[in-house]
């Protein structure tokens, strides 16, 4: 294990603890490999009945992939390190697939910041997932803010959120809290931060085979305590505007609405990459018709095109490197994005037999 991932076993439960607090547990390639190694080792171990993934810090579960690494390696030649970017996304998406189909309860303590790649290691499939949020949870798929798109299976789980919530969350990249996460089907249980010590004691003392039921019983008294969902309150507007059929149509629809929600959404979208908002819209539309493996293969193709295009390099420069918050998006305005620019991101990079994720099913 690397210095940033710790594993242990107690009472038939395997524990994975992310411990890179200064970087909000941003995932490195070594961390992806460590998590994958532990899950593969425990998958067929009859002594392990459940898995818990958590953070050593209450600030963040996981803020996503290490975008500074993407910037440095993505600008390099393969000899200088950019091949590691290819490895990172291939192995990260394979890990997302492994988690989705994990044959044992997969319990994610989504306390604090849960964004991007953090969502990828928290969103197990319906057969295994137990996702817990607190009042400290700050959840987002904010990739359009850095010229990327919601990956790590986002095309799958966002496209399956109720109504147009997934399109709204992906195209705007906005951050939501616990009540919204529950409403959108991106979390299962709520627990107040003050009860996390009690929950930790339950996790340590309960037999792995009984853990999912024990967590449900623990969380039952807190049902409804997460507060009101803003997404629920704005659901009719979200479905109307984000069902408009394209990003330009969404903008046009929002401009007819003088509500605070519509005006705030327009302000947010004005800061995002016009091209990647359009790519994200198309991605979520396509993802609705694909299975998990198909979504991840599609995203892997898009990542290659995205780094070749350079939009993500510019986004990370503006947000993280120079911190001027003034990305020079190309195109700079939505009116200059045409269908051919968007469709180019979906063009095959490899023949099917050579796709890096060809073995996923």
Q: What positions carry a catalytic annotation?
A: 65, 117, 143, 151
The helix or strand, by DSSP H or E, that contains position 19, with its residue range, turns out to be none
144, 152, 284, 297 from 293: Cα distances, Å:
22, 11, 15, 6
CA dihedral of 80, 81, 86, 89, whole degrees rounded to 10? -150
The pair phi, psi for residue 158, each rounded to 5°, is -70, -40
Do 139 and 110 form a contact (C-beta atoms < 8 A)?
A: yes
State how far Cα 102 lies from the chain centre: 18
Per DSSP, helices labelled H in the chain are: 29-43, 67-74, 82-100, 117-120, 154-157, 165-172, 178-183, 196-205, 211-219, 230-233, 235-242, 247-255, 260-269, 274-287, 292-309, 311-316, 339-344
Integer Cα distance of 308 and 17 in angstroms:
34
Sheet containing 60-62: order of strands: 60-62, 113-115, 138-140
Do 188 and 130 form a contact (C-beta atoms < 8 A)?
A: yes
Contacts of residue 39, Cβ cutoff 8 Å, sequence gap at least 6: 16, 51, 95, 98, 99, 102
State how far Cα 342 lies from the chain centre: 21
The DSSP code sequence of 66-124 is -HHHHHHHHTS-GGGTHHHHHHHHHHHHHHHHHHHT-SS-EEEEE-SEEETHHHHTT--
């Amino acid at each position: 294990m690397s210095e940033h991932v710790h594993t242990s076993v107690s009472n038939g439960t395997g524990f994975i603890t992310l411990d890179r607090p200064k970087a909000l547990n941003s995932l490195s390639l070594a961390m992806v490999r460590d998590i994958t190694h532990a899950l593969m080792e425990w998958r067929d171990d009859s002594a392990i009945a459940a898995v818990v993934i958590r953070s050593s810090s209450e600030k963040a579960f996981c803020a996503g992939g290490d975008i500074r690494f993407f910037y440095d390696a993505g600008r390099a030649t393969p000899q200088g390190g950019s091949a590691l970017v290819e490895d990172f996304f291939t192995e990260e998406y394979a890990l997302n697939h492994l988690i989705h189909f994990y044959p044992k309860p997969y319990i994610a303590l989504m306390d604090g910041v849960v964004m991007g790649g953090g969502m990828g290691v928290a969103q197990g499939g319906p057969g295994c997932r137990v996702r817990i949020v607190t009042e400290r949870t700050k959840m987002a798929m904010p990739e359009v803010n850095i010229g990327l798109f919601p990956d790590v299976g986002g095309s799958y789980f966002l496209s399956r959120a109720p109504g147009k919530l997934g399109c709204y969350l992906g195209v705007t990249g906005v951050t939501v809290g616990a009540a919204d996460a529950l409403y959108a089907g991106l979390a299962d249980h709520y627990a107040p931060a003050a009860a996390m010590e009690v929950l930790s004691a339950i996790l340590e003392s309960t037999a792995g085979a009984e853990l999912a039921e024990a967590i449900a019983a623990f969380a039952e008294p807190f049902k409804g305590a997460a507060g009101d969902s803003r997404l629920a309150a704005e659901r009719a507007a979200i479905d109307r505007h984000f069902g408009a059929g394209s990003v330009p149509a969404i903008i046009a629809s929002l401009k007819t609405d003088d509500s605070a929600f519509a005006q705030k959404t327009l302000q947010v979208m004005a800061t995002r990459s016009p091209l990647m908002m359009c790519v994200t819209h198309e991605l979520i539309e396509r993802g609705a018709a694909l299975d998990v493996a198909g979504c991840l293969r599609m995203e892997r193709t898009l990542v290659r095109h995205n780094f070749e295009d350079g939009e993500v390099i510019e986004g990370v420069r503006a947000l993280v490197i120079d911190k001027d918050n003034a990305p020079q998006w190309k195109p700079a305005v939505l009116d200059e994005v045409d269908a051919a620019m968007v469709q180019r991101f979906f063009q095959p990079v490899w023949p099917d037999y050579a796709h890096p994720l060809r073995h996923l099913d």
